[in-house]
């Protein structure tokens, strides 16, 4: 199967290449880049030296079966209709098709949505929640990294009305790769290392995406507090989530709800009681690690969810979605476990 990548020089693009090289069915025939067309991919990214990946091309997309778009928001939606018309299946790793309401998109992303008529065509690509809807779709909105970690922890509990929706607080922490490959003072080693900070407080763009999906799970609309932080590490997201439990809900009930939801999910691991997720468990893999505890003193459940932001939070989940829409086993090419240490 022929695949292409738009935005092949970013971190998500590189991660797609790394993972697709391990995929037995996918063949990368197109690496597109607006800024680096003409450059030899392996000379820019020597980890792939002697891989025969060829040169970066411009953004003219050739005949591919699946196209991965790892572009800034706004750039994918404008061209998607054309690709779909040509029979190309599109997996958008950007934000263009994640929000169902173009006005919400406008409010948070500050531009008019370039193709609102396509929004209903898109499916939100968390297979653990929407596997059946994804099958047969041609346009997948691959979720954001923070939403993936947050939603996997919360959605089953909200569906069963076990927690109080509007009490939810998500305190999330991300490695620096989440900010992309662009150089700035904010990603400068000397400014980031031995440092820790919050950012985008009460205004991060993943907020409406999380709210949309959690509201769908709960069956009613509500708002969450979401605060991202920057950790002096490269990869990984850990979300610490607080919620009041509904009256009479026990820790066992919460745990059983998760177990039921995830018993057949090979990428989701509910850790043994008392063992808390670490981001490194997921490093370089598509796996998710979950734990919770009901604090009887306060009546709040504390949920911790950990993923690799570039794999389950981006490229890995995108390939998981590719497998589903292409009829491959869902785990094809994604079997590797996290590297340690």
Please tell me the distance from the alpha carbon of residue 55 to that of residue 84, in angstroms, as a whole number: 25
Q: By CB under 8 A, tell whether 336 contacts a copy of itself.
A: yes
CA distances from 292 to 92, 259, 274 (A): 31, 12, 9
Q: Which is nearer to a copy of itself, 248 or 272 (CB)?
A: 272
Please tell me the distance from the alpha carbon of residue 292 to that of residue 71, in angstroms, as a whole number: 35
Q: Which of 84, 100, 108, 187 binds a copy of itself (CB under 8 A)?
A: 187
Q: Is 69 a catalytic residue?
A: no
Q: Which is nearer to a copy of itself, 110 or 188 (CB)?
A: 188
Which residue is it, tokens 């022929």? 2
Q: Which of 135, 201, 250, 331 binds a copy of itself (CB under 8 A)?
A: 201
Q: Which is nearer to a copy of itself, 160 or 173 (CB)?
A: 173
Given the residues 145, 270, 283, 303, the one annotated as active site:
145
CA distances from 127 to 98, 178, 229 (A): 14, 22, 26
Q: Site mask, a copy of itself, residues 63-102, x = CB under 8 A?
A: ----------------------------------------
Q: By CB under 8 A, tell whether 233 contacts a copy of itself.
A: yes
Decide if 54 contacts 27 (C-beta within 8 A). Answer: no
- Beta strands across the sheet bearing 2-6: 27-32, 2-6, 66-69, 89-92, 139-141, 123-124
Tokens of 188: 């400068």
Please tell me the distance from the alpha carbon of residue 126 to that of residue 169, in angstroms, as a whole number: 21
Please tell me the distance from the alpha carbon of residue 248 to that of residue 271, in angstroms, as a whole number: 24
Q: Which of 35, 52, 60, 184 binds a copy of itself (CB under 8 A)?
A: 184
Piece of the chain touching a copy of itself by CB under 8 A; list 106-114, 132-140, 212-220, 270-278 = 270-278
CB 279 to a copy of itself: min, Å: 5
Q: Which of 276, 326, 330, 332 binds a copy of itself (CB under 8 A)?
A: 276
Residues forming the active site: 145
């Amino acid at each position: 199967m022929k695949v292409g990548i738009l935005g092949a020089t970013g971190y998500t693009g590189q991660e797609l290449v790394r993972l697709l090289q391990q995929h037995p069915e996918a063949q990368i025939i197109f690496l597109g880049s607006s800024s680096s067309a003409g450059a030899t991919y392996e000379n820019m990214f020597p980890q792939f030296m002697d891989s025969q990946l060829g040169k970066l091309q411009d953004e003219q997309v050739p005949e591919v079966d699946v196209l991965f778009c790892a572009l800034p928001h706004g750039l994918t939606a404008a061209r998607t209709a054309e690709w779909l018309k040509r029979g190309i299946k599109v997996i958008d790793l950007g934000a263009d098709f994640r929000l169902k309401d173009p006005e919400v998109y406008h409010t948070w992303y500050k531009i008019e949505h370039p193709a609102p008529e396509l929004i209903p065509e898109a499916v939100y690509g968390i297979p653990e929640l929407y596997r059946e809807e994804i099958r047969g779709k041609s346009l997948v909105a691959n979720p954001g990294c923070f939403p993936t970690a947050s939603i996997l922890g919360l959605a089953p509990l909200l569906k069963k009305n076990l927690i109080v929706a509007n009490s939810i607080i998500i305190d999330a922490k991300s490695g620096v790769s989440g900010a992309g490959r662009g150089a700035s003072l904010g990603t400068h080693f000397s400014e980031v290392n031995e440092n820790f900070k919050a950012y985008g407080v009460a205004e991060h763009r993943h907020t409406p995406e999380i709210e949309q999906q959690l509201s769908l799970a709960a069956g009613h609309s509500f708002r969450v507090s979401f605060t991202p932080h920057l950790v002096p590490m490269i990869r990984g997201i850990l979300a610490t989530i607080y919620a009041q439990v509904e009256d009479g809900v026990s820790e066992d009930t919460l745990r059983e709800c998760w177990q039921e939801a995830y018993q057949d999910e090979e990428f989701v691991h509910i850790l043994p009681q008392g063992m808390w997720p670490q981001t490194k468990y997921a490093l370089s893999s598509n796996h998710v690690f979950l734990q919770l505890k009901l604090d009887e003193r306060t009546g709040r459940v504390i949920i911790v969810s950990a993923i690799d932001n570039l794999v389950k939070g981006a490229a890995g989940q995108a390939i998981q979605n590719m497998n589903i829409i292409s009829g491959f086993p869902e785990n094809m090419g994604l079997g590797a476990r996290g590297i340690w240490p």
